[in-house]
Structures are given as C-alpha cells and as structure tokens.
Structure 1
C-alpha cells in the first residue's frame, strides 16, 4: 500500500531590493508629511499672533491640543491597524492632515484654529502604527535597519521643510496661501501613494496565533509585556530631549555664549540635518540587532557630553552651531537601533498595537517638556536647560539597556 505524499508549496522568493526600496520610499514620504504637519503653525506664530490677537501662550496651546489628541489616537489606531490593515488608515491620516492645513488657511477665529488642530492631531496619530507595521512585515531583516534609517531621515526632513517652505511663502503671499500650499503638498503625497497602492497592500494577520504572553490577556495581553512599557518610557524621554533642542536649547546657547541671532537660527537646522546623517550611519550599525543597545548608549552618551559642554564650557559663538551638529549626528546614530528594540519587544500579530502605545510616549513627552524646560528658561536657568537635556539623554541610555534586560527575563521565564 502506498501513501501519496503532498509536497510543501515552494517558499515565495525573497523580495527584491527594488520592491523593498519602493515600500521604504512610499512610507518615508508619508512620514515626512506627518512631521511637516507638526510644525504647520509654529513658524507662523508672529503672523497668527497679530491677526488673531492671541498671546504666545494661546498659540502654544494649539500645539498642546495637537499632541494630546495625537497621543490618544495613536494608542487607539494601533488596534485599528491590526484589525483592518495599515493602508486605508494611512490614506485617511494623510487626507485629514491635508484637510486640516486647508482648514487653518481659512480660519477666521481662534476657535477654528483649535478645531482644526484637533483634526490635524487625529490625522497625525495614525502614522507610527501604520509605518512600522508596513516596514516590519514587508522589509526583509537584512534591510530593516536601513528602512528605519530612511524613516527617521524623512521625519527630520519634514521638520526642516516646514519653516523653510512656510516662512518664504508667507513673506511673499501671506500665511493663508502658505498653509493652503501645505495642504496641497499633503494631497500630492496622498495621490502618489494611491497610484502605487499595490506596494502597500498587506493582509491582516489572524488574531488566533499569538505569543504566550499575548494569549493570557487577549487583545490587550501585550500590555503585560514589561518591555513594552520600558519602550514607552524610552520614547517619552526621547521626545523630551528632542523638544528641548527644538524649542529652547538654541536660545539658551545664545544667552550663555553671546551667539548672534543669525547663528542661533542655524542651530536647529544644523542639528536636524546632521541627525539625518547620523541615521544613515545608524542604519548600518543596526544591521546587527545584538548591538542596538550599545549603539544607543554610545550615541546618546556623546550627545549628553556635548550638551554639558554647551552648558558649562566657555566656547566661542561660531562653534555653537558646530556643537549642535555634532550632538545631532551622535543622537541620530541611535535612531534605527531605537526602532529595532521596539520591534523585538512586540508580539508578531500585535505590531500596530505595540507601536501605537509605545510611540504615544513621543506625544506625551512633547506635551510635557515645554512646561518643565520653559520654566527653567523663564527663571534664567540657561545652563540648567543643558543639564536637564544631558540628564534626559542619560535616562535614554538606561532605558535602552533595561528593555534588553526585561526582554531577556521574559524569554527565560517563558
């Protein structure tokens, strides 16, 4: 008696570099618009202040509204991404950001600005769960570090593009035209993603085959993974450090080192561009996941040392933008490794949920940091700003190694 054997279906061929580069480029373009939209209003505060008779505190509240809403949506959108797939959620987020920009451009009252800040926050909240679900499932392991590198670079470029685009347009045509152009840019990127939507197609994973940790608590079981909350804390402090650099560090350096205003304006741009360069190097360093924590430790350790130099050393004014660039490059090298430690903490079929919770730490950190460091600035504690920045960067290093320690403990227990 013979038994017919059923051969296993052949394994699908690995994706080509061209296929993966297309996915990385599309996801990166969407991520750029997310970061671009975070700075739609801030560069225009001088004009908005006059036209709406608003104080800087009131205008700053618009940013707080944006990030608080984004935080809540980000935590919830991860569940939606896992259930319905990332592509429709990504399209909806880009459409909302474009609509919000057009809404800002036609606003005639502070209340309208606040309402469209809510809309923008909803749109912004979907990107990290969507982006990392696409990258983690569509990019092969050898190229994943480079994918994270490009993802971080496009975010930095989005931050750099917003003031570079909006301020000249405002000077030439007015802030309403500038914001309408920003909305048009969001819809152009959405159109490109729609044309190449097949590259972003991703089947929804079944919920039944989960890890042991996740099964214990159903769809919310991933919240019992200690490494998830360690990653949340890491991103909270990462956002605090970034917010200090974006909002207060250049002005604090001006006060400490008598930096001319034209050089002060360069500090943030140099930091972001050099951070993007550091992410390129970080993509190669993250090719070996076992050294991710060490890469983060060295990068942020150097950045913390530079922050202390800015806070205490007597340096010439011309060197301040250079030091900001070195600090940005050092911090940027840890970007891809930062994202990999989250991937290693996430159960396979809960990627969207984990990234939604973990990356909500970014929004919370960006909402709280101005309250802490703004108080230091108001009291003239300019050196204290850099001390606080170095301390936060030190906490980042400890958090990264704690994630590894907790993850190993869970694996041993399992």
Structure 2
C-alpha cells in the first residue's frame, strides 16, 4: 500500500499522545495514591524516578533497534508494553506492582521518540517536516494536559485502579489503529535508485560524538528549564511570592496550553526558515527575560497568567526547531538511533530536576526554582547557538 504522509502523521501523533498520557498517569494521581496504596510521597517519587532512569538507560540502545528492526514494529510493541504495565497496576493495585509497572512503562517509553522521529523523517516530505514535528509534539503536549482531568476524574468517581485501566485501554486503542491501517507506515524510505542499505553504508551510521553530546545536553537543559515551571512553579509561587493557590494554578494552566499552541506556531516557522538554531535561541532568551520579570515584579493574577502564558508559548515554539536541529545532524537512515541518544537528555533532566527543585523548596528558597529556570534557559540559548554555528560551519565546508 502506498504510504500516506497524513495517515502516517496521524498515527504517530496518536501514539505520542498516548505516551505522554502514560508519562503523566502517576504524577496526575499523586494526591490520591498515598491513601489508595498506603504509601508515602517519597515512595511514589521513587516510582516516578524509576520510570525516568529506565527510559534514560534504554533509549539509546532502543534507537539502534528501531533502525535495525523497523520503527513501526517497535512502536507497536511499545504501545502493547505500555498498556500491559498499567493493566498490571489496574489488576493488582499495590506498591510492588506499581514499581514493576514503572520499569516496564519506562522501557516502553524509551521506544517512542526514536520510533516516532524515524517514521516522520522517512515518511514526511522535507517541505512539511517542521509542521509535522510540531503536530507530533502538540499531540504529546495534549496527552499530558489530558492526563490530570481524565485520571483524577475517573479515580474520584470510582477508584485509582480504574484510572490505570483507562491508561492501559488508551494504549490498546492506539495499537489497534496501527493494526488496522498501519500497513501504510514506511519502516524505510529509500531514495530513488538507492536502496536503504546502500544509502546507510555510504554515510556514517551515527552523528559525531561531540554533536550527540551537545544535542543531549540541549535536551537535558530543555527538560530542566521547562520542568521547573511545569512541575514546581505552583509551589514556588505560593511559597515564595505570596501568590494564592488558584492564581498559581491558573498561571500554570495558561503556560501549558500556550506551550501546546506555541508548538504549532513553531512548526510553521520552522518550515519557513533554515535558521532553526537562531529561532530557538531567540525564543528561549525572551522566555528567560519574561521569567525574570515574574521574579522581580509583583504581578496581579491576570498579569502573572499572561506572563507565564507568553513564556510557555515561546518555549513551545522551540520544539520543532529543536527537532529540525537533530534531524539535520542525523546521518540518513540513522534517525532512530540519533533521536534515541539525544532524547535521553529528557530523562536525565527528569531525574535531576525534581531533586534540585525539591531541595530548594525544602530550604525555603522558592525564588531559586524560578532563577534556576532562568539559568537553564540561558544555558539552552548558548548551547543552541553553538550547535547552529557548528552545523553552518560544517555545511560551508561541505559546500
């Protein structure tokens, strides 16, 4: 069957939505799980940390498997594995089963980025790549945003175990969609007259080590800078800035939804320019400036929501340009392994961030959380400019 770029994008985006729903499943239920499972917040934090550690360890080798075994097969296996992990907790809602489920879910999560980006890189025309990346990322943001109302709403009406059952059902539904119409998804997309094997043998199988290190650092900094706001800004604003809890929650909600729509705007922009590094650097520098204003100026609730919304929109705009930078650095046929390696930065940030920001809050340094976000944004700007300069120098030499 002839591959349809729109069908490919739709199916990969659905899988990405489910992956983020699974990522947020346990965090969304944090207020309810201590009583439901008779555990502490520290024990739940260990479970979440376990998920990120496993993802960080397996993502790079799974990227190689994606390129070797086929992205579609690996993506379908990940959806089944993720569904099984939450099905386990639904059937046996105990802490030991939760730990086991987080290990399995972390393994599944390690597949999504390399498989998704490999399929998109091979199945979407270059002229539409930026918008395709943005829609894919938007779907992930949407899955994360849907998790709290879905998971908490079901848990309040029934019990947390049924929330986990719905998370498992979501994975099965996405898998079923790929079974029914997934045969149109290309595992490989050879160029005219050149087989994929010959094409990959003629080029490096992986990007240079320094490039991978720079991009992995970029993903880590992105995780730390946005994670500070997404997961800890409410506590920081309430504790250190005398902001009422409803106002802080409103500001975070605006930030999250503005981020999602910023991704869509960034996709259009990414297709209209080849200066992806400069776009990302400018957006993050401006976002850092806005967060500084939030720290330094006593803002009323509406102004605070507007400010964090603007910062969210700008950080969301970065995502497609970020993905285009990685694609530009990846040798042909090695997209899965390249994205698999650099995406470990997200998990590294996911392990470091909660420890650092929790440490600051425990010691009454709430403003330090937002200052840390500013610092990580500034570092992100510098790294992006460095990578852009490297790519342009390399292109000039090749030309």
1:23 aligns with 2:8: yes
Alignment equivalent of 1:34, drawn from 19, 26, 31: 19
1:160 aligns with 2:145: yes
In structure 2, the partner of 1:348 is 332
1:319 aligns with 2:303: yes
Counterpart of 2:101 in 1: which secondary structure? helix
In structure 2, the partner of 1:226 is 210
In structure 1, the partner of 2:274 is 290
Q: Which deviations, in whole Å up to 9, do the C-alpha atoms of 1:139-168 show, x marking residues without a partner? A: 001111100110111111011011010111
In structure 1, the partner of 2:80 is 95
| Greater Cα radius of gyration, structure 1 or 2 | 1
How many Å apart are 1:361 and its aligned residue?
0.7
Q: Which deviations, in whole Å up to 9, do the C-alpha atoms of 1:202-260 show, x marking residues without a partner? A: 2377445447772xxxx5xx253422221111001001112211221122112344332
In structure 2, the partner of 1:310 is 294
Counterpart of 2:274 in 1: which secondary structure? helix
| Cα distance in 2 for residues equivalent to 1:266 and 1:93 | 34
1:338 aligns with 2:322: yes
In structure 2, the partner of 1:86 is 71
| Cα distance in 2 for residues equivalent to 1:287 and 1:204 | 21
Q: Gaps spanning 5+ residues in structure 1: where?
A: 1-12
How many Å apart are 1:47 and its aligned residue?
2.3
* Structure 1 range deviating more: 246-255 or 401-410: 401-410
Matches within 5 A, 1:162-181: 162-181=147-166
How many Å apart are 1:307 and its aligned residue?
1.1
Matches within 5 A, 1:120-139: 120-139=105-124
Contact residue 311 and residue 384 of structure 1 kept, 8 A: no
Counterpart of 1:39 in 2: which secondary structure? helix
Q: Which deviations, in whole Å up to 9, do the C-alpha atoms of 1:271-298 show, x marking residues without a partner? A: 1211111111111110134221121122
| Cα distance in 2 for residues equivalent to 1:366 and 1:46 | 20
Counterpart of 1:77 in 2: which secondary structure? helix
Contact residue 285 and residue 377 of structure 2 kept, 8 A: yes
Q: Which deviations, in whole Å up to 9, do the C-alpha atoms of 1:99-151 show, x marking residues without a partner? A: 11111222343221101100110111100100111111110011111001101
> TM-score scaled to structure 2, two decimals?
0.93
> TM-score scaled to structure 1, two decimals?
0.90
| Cα distance in 2 for residues equivalent to 1:203 and 1:315 | 52
CA-based RMSD: 1.9
| Cα distance in 1 for residues equivalent to 2:35 and 2:244 | 26
1:72 aligns with 2:41: no
How many residue pairs align between the two structures? 392
Counterpart of 2:301 in 1: which secondary structure? coil
1:272 aligns with 2:260: no
Q: Gaps spanning 5+ residues in structure 2: where?
A: 191-195
